[in-house]
Amino acid sequence: MASPIIEVQDLSFKYDQRNNENILTDISFSIQQGDWVAILGNNGSGKSTLAKLLVGLLSPQAGQIMIAGNPLTEETKWEIRQHIALVFQNPENQFIGTTVEEDVAFGLENQNIPFSMMKTKVDEVLDLVGMTPFRKADPSRLSGGQKQRVAIASVLALDPDIIVLDEALVMLDPKSRREILATLTQIQMTKQTTILSITHDMDEAMFADQIILLENGRIKQIGTPTEVFSKITHLEPPFVEKLRRTLQQKKRQVPEMFLTEDEMVKWLCK
């Protein structure tokens, strides 16, 4: 197996040094390039904190983070941020530009990219998220879902190797969410982009290559969707698993194991 693009070792973190309790305790995992990883957990389990640690906005009390083989430190964080991008949970305060297109261009301006190249890139990503008609609009006057799209466009413009989405799709209507997910999957496939998606949407988590389940700042479970959903029963399950469990309760002969959507369809058609 190739060396992982993200490797987290024994990470511990707390906001307040005076506190004894950690917000995150002994977090270790590794992620391969090109994977889609879903991070699940209850409110306050430390998902957003983990995201901020991964981009170097917070520094851990213990443990270390390796991105593409380089340890993330105060010195290396600027270099590493060229490879990793984060869409924040709150879309409100992540806008810097006065218009949508200027905001999308902000990250490109920071890389000192000439205007003509910026223009092409901005046009391209605005089109991908369907925000071209709003390019001259004031980002702070957009609806929640539109703000999230602009935030995603800003990240896509940078062509990062790793994208961390902190509940970045929650305000989108179901259809747009599917479209943006499809776009992201496409990018993940073609450019081998690694995507870490913090989410409460179990149907989205089902499609992940790997699920990391946090509970009270610790890793409760880590593995493929099949492994996680069959082991953890108190988690609100995705639709297919709900179906399987209901059928099981009704004493039908369903497989004992968790099924993916395809498998379920095959089994039902038998």
Name which of 187, 152, 196, 193 is nearest 171 in CA terms: 152
Terminal Cα distance for the chain, rounded: 36
Q: Indicate the residue type of 253.
A: Q
Candidates 23, 37, 126, 150; binder of ligand ATP (CB under 6 A) is: 23
Taking the complex as a whole, how short is the minimal distance between the CB of residue 39 and Mg ion, in angstroms?
A: 10
Stretch that binds Mg ion, among 23-31, 41-49, 73-81, 98-106 (CB under 5 A): 41-49
For ligand ATP (CB under 6 A), the number of binding residues is 11
**Six-digit token pair at 200?**
């409460």
Which residues are CB-contacts of 19 (< 8 A; sequence separation ≥ 6)? none
Which residues are CB-contacts of 223 (< 8 A; sequence separation ≥ 6)? 210, 211, 231
Site string for another protein, 143-162 (x = CB under 8 A): -----------x---x----
Taking the complex as a whole, how short is the minimal distance between the CB of residue 236 and ligand ATP, in angstroms?
A: 13
> Is there a contact between 135 and 100 (Cβ–Cβ < 8 Å)?
yes
* Binding of residue 111 to another protein (CB under 8 A): yes
State CA 179 to chain mean position distance: 16
Query: What is the DSSP pairing of strand 6-13 with strand 62-67?
Result: antiparallel
> Is there a contact between 166 and 155 (Cβ–Cβ < 8 Å)?
no
Taking the complex as a whole, how short is the minimal distance between the CB of residue 36 and Mg ion, in angstroms?
A: 19
Residue 118 binds which entry of ligand ATP, Mg ion, another protein, none, CB below 5-8 Å type-dependent? another protein
State CA 125 to chain mean position distance: 18
Taking the complex as a whole, how short is the minimal distance between the CB of residue 139 and another protein, in angstroms?
A: 9
Taking the complex as a whole, how short is the minimal distance between the CB of residue 262 and another protein, in angstroms?
A: 37
Candidates 44, 71, 144, 255; binder of ligand ATP (CB under 6 A) is: 44
CB closer to ligand ATP out of 179 and 201: 201
Stretch that binds ligand ATP, among 4-12, 41-49, 106-114, 224-232 (CB under 6 A): 41-49
Stretch that binds another protein, among 11-19, 39-47, 105-113, 168-176 (CB under 8 A): 105-113
Q: Rounded CA gap, 77 and 41, in Å?
A: 27
H or E element, residue 181 = helix 174-191
* Binding of residue 58 to Mg ion (CB under 5 A): no
H or E element, residue 115 = helix 115-128
| Geometric angle at alpha carbon 86, from 147 and 55, rounded to 5° | 155
Candidates 4, 6, 72, 101; binder of another protein (CB under 8 A) is: 101
Q: Which residues bind another protein (CB under 8 A)?
A: 52, 55, 57, 78, 81-82, 85-86, 88, 90, 92-98, 101-102, 105-115, 118-119, 122, 138, 140, 154, 158
Q: Which residues bind ligand ATP (CB under 6 A)?
A: 15, 23, 41, 43-49, 89
